[in-house]
Structure formats: C-alpha cells, structure tokens
Chains A and B, each alone.
Chain A
Amino acid sequence: MELTEVQKDFKEKVCDEIRLIPEGLSRYVVSHPFTFDDGDHYIIVLKKIGENWLLTDEGHTIMHLSYEDLDLKHGGYKEIIDNIVSAFGLDNRQGELVLPVPETRFGDALFSFIQALVKLSDIKYLQRERIRSLFMEEFKGFLGEAIPQQYRQFDYAHPERDPKRVYTVDCLLKASKRPVFIFGIINDSKCQTVTNIIYWWEKQGDHFDITAIFENQEEINRKVLARFSDVCGRQFSNLPTNRDRIKGYISEVLAK
C-alpha cells in the first residue's frame, strides 16, 4: 500500500470515529473511540458559553474515579490530578475539567483534552500498587502473631557473608532442628528474586528449609513459578484461606 493511501486510510478512519451529537442549546456531546479501562467512553462535551467554545467532562471523570473507592484527597492524588490538569492546560472547576478552545483550534483542544483524561484515569493503578504493598504488612502481621518472638526474625540476612543485606529472608523461623526461611510472594518479580536468593543460600552450604506464602499463586507466571518450585519446599497459594494450615505447619516445625 502506498504511503499516501495509508495516510488517507488513517484520516478517514479517525475522522469517521469523531462525531458531534447535538444535545441542548449550544451543547454537543463528542462521540469518540477513547475509553476508560472498563469500556465506558470518556464524556466530552463541546459547549458554547457566550462567544467562547470549551470542552468539558461535566464532572464525569472524577466521578468515574470514585467507583474505584479512591480517597482522592489523600495519598498524593490531589497533587497528581493538579499536575496533569496544569500540564495540559485544563481548568479544574471544583471537579469539572474544562479546556477553553483557543482560536477555533477544536482538533488540537480535543487531542489535549483526551490525553489529559487518559492520564487521569490511570490514577487508579496507583491504588492497586498500594494494595499489593499491604500484603507484606499482612504477611508480617500474621507471622508476628503465629510465631513467638524468640523463634522469629524478620528481614534476616547472613551476619558474616551478606553484610550489605542483599540476600535477605522475609522471615527466619528458628526451629531447633533446621531453620525455615519463609518468603512472602506478591508477584512475578518477587518470585524470581526469591529464587535467586535461595540459590545464593544454597551455595553457602547452610542447612535450611524453604516455605513460601503467596498473595495469589494463580497470578504468578507459570515458568517463573516452575523455576521457583524447584528450589522451594512448602508453598501456600494464599494467606487468607490457609491461616490455620500455616499455623499448624509452624507448630509442627517448632515442636520437632
């Protein structure tokens, strides 16, 4: 296909996707193909106020973010929203995002507006990262209750051979027969890192057992999990449904 044909195809397809739907006086809903992750399209309305045109989301974007149960006034979200709004030249009018259209440059304004809405809708992923970090807090809290203090040590590193604490163990269970290294696994990256940590410990010649508690073992890549399974002993696929089982296992190990 000639380049000019490709360009023509791009223009026609893109143009076909943008339409104005009149709804009210000097108010047009902009129909476009851009969506939130859930398939709902961004709401973009073109309005004429006096002699000036502007694009507005009529408050929908922040309302949509609230479906994720985000506390937008805390956690740095407000600053992120302010930065994005400012970067794309929008106004945040108490939750309504507005972009005046300069000198009838409707296309430019639309592109800027859409880019801003896309960036704003990505804020919800910050929440998911926060949820992941909460698993390790839950992991430590659970083991802190399940294992008497004299038998456990969090973030254990070899005192002589790892002074920089590169190969740390999430929780050392000081069983008299054989210590157990317990790891909390939240994602592929942690799983791979722990595999490498275990390899290092094996080379030190010490004797130990390995136990892993996953946030959700089903989410781990199969190959990563397969490599990990070669070096790990007991595995628990998640914490919530295995609490009693893990406590039983710990009691068994400490009793030996």
Chain B
Amino acid sequence: MAAVQLTDEDINKLIQIPKPLPANYKRLLRYRAKPTSEQHEEAQFDIEASSERTFRVMIRKNLINPLDFSVILGYIPKERLNILRLRRYNGIHEHTNKLEGVRFRGFHIHYATQRYQEAGWDIDDYAEPTEKYGTVDQALELYFNECNFIKPEDEKLQPKLLE
C-alpha cells in the first residue's frame, strides 16, 4: 500500500475550513497568458485560512476551446514542498477512473480520495461527471460554494440580480 498523505477525513476537514477571499480577489483572478503558452491563461493566488492552513486557488482557461478549463483547489501543507490538489472542476474532455474502470466524457469534477493514494495514484485522480456548470465562470461559483470560500462582506450585501 502506498503512502497516504491525507485521509478522507483530513480531506473533508480541509474542504470545510472557511477560506476568506481577499477584498481584491477579483483582481487576482485576472487571467494572464504565460510565456510558455499563448493558448491558455492562468490565474492563481494563495489564501491563509485559520490554523495556518494555506490553500491555493488555481484557474486555467484554454483560449482555443473555452469549454476546456480547470478550477483547482490546492492545499500546501506546512511540512511538504508540493501542492496537494483537493478538488478540480474541469471542462469537457474524456476521463477514466482507473480503480473503477469507468470512462466518460463531459464536464467533470476531480475529488481527492484516500483510496487512490493507497493504490499509488495521485490524490485527485478520481472524478465524477457533472451537469452543475457549463462555463468556467459557473464552475468557479460552484467551487467557491462547495469548498467553503467566504466572499468579502460588501459582496455578500449586494442583492443578486437574478435568482
């Protein structure tokens, strides 16, 4: 059995930790192309949550195909030098879950699991198809809700235009 860095319980606890978004988070989410590729844009920033936990918001957006994107929740443990991906809200492409042998094509969400680590795979190799979003912006909103991000106070007070 391979080493497990996070148990399912650890993962759930990390997801539930409130993650306060900085007041300027929309500016931090302005996408920029990288020197290595002009075909996709990136945005990312770190958040220090309570108990000195550091999370990373990472977004990738393909400029050729707007349905190809990834909105990622990373966790940076104090004692490790690598990022552990806890969730990944992906655009449309095929995916195969290696342990279950299930293959599908469409929007899908990668979840960190203990069992994939035990089997020697990466922590977030398991994914499930979803119909909860159809664009990167919708995926981002779902990500903020499901991963317990806390928006700045002034945003919370603004009424929603459409319910």
Q: Interface residues, chain A, CB within 8 Å of chain B?
A: 31, 33, 35, 37-41, 43, 58-60, 62-63, 66-67, 69, 72-73, 77-78, 93-96, 128, 131, 134, 216, 218-219, 238-241
Contact = CB atoms under 8 A, between A and B. Distances in A.
B52 interface: no
Contact of B93 (A43, A95, A96, A241): A43
Contacts of B58: 67, 69
A59 B93 contact: no
Nearest to A65: B36
Given A38-B124, A58-B39, A238-B79, A96 B64 contact: yes
Given A63-B68, A131-B82, A238-B79, A39 B125 contact: yes
Contacts of A216: 3
B68 A31 contact: no
Contacts of A40: 90, 93-95, 127
B70 A67 contact: yes
B95 A60 contact: no
A38 B110 contact: yes
B93 A41 contact: yes
Interface of B: 2-3, 34-40, 42, 58, 60, 62-65, 68, 70, 72, 74, 78-83, 85, 88, 90, 93-98, 103, 105, 110, 121-122, 124-127
Contacts, number: 108
A18 to B, nearest CB: 12
Contacts of B127: 39-40
Contacts of A67: 58, 60, 70, 72, 85, 88
A31 B105 contact: yes
A59 B66 CA distance: 11
Contact of A58 (B64, B96, B97, B103): B64
B88 A240 contact: no
A240 B78 contact: yes
Contacts of B40: 59, 62-63, 66, 95
Nearest to B102: A39
A59 B60 contact: no
B62 A63 contact: yes
Q: Is the interface of B mostly helix, strand, loop or mixed?
A: strand
A219 B60 CA distance: 32
A72 B62 contact: no
Contact of B96 (A41, A59, A218, A219): A41
22 contacts: A31-B105, A33-B96, A40-B93, A40-B95, A41-B93, A43-B68, A59-B63, A59-B64, A60-B62, A60-B65, A63-B39, A63-B70, A66-B40, A66-B42, A67-B58, A67-B60, A67-B85, A69-B58, A72-B37, A77-B36, A219-B2, A238-B79
A25 B121 CA distance: 38
B110 to A, nearest CB: 7
Contacts of A62: 36-37, 39-40
B63 to A, nearest CB: 7
Given A67-B58, A69-B83, A131-B82, A95 B94 contact: no
B62 A58 contact: yes
Nearest to B1: A218
Given A31-B94, A38-B122, A95 B68 contact: no
Nearest to B94: A41
A95 B125 contact: no
B79 to A, nearest CB: 3
A63 to B, nearest CB: 4
Nearest to B97: A39
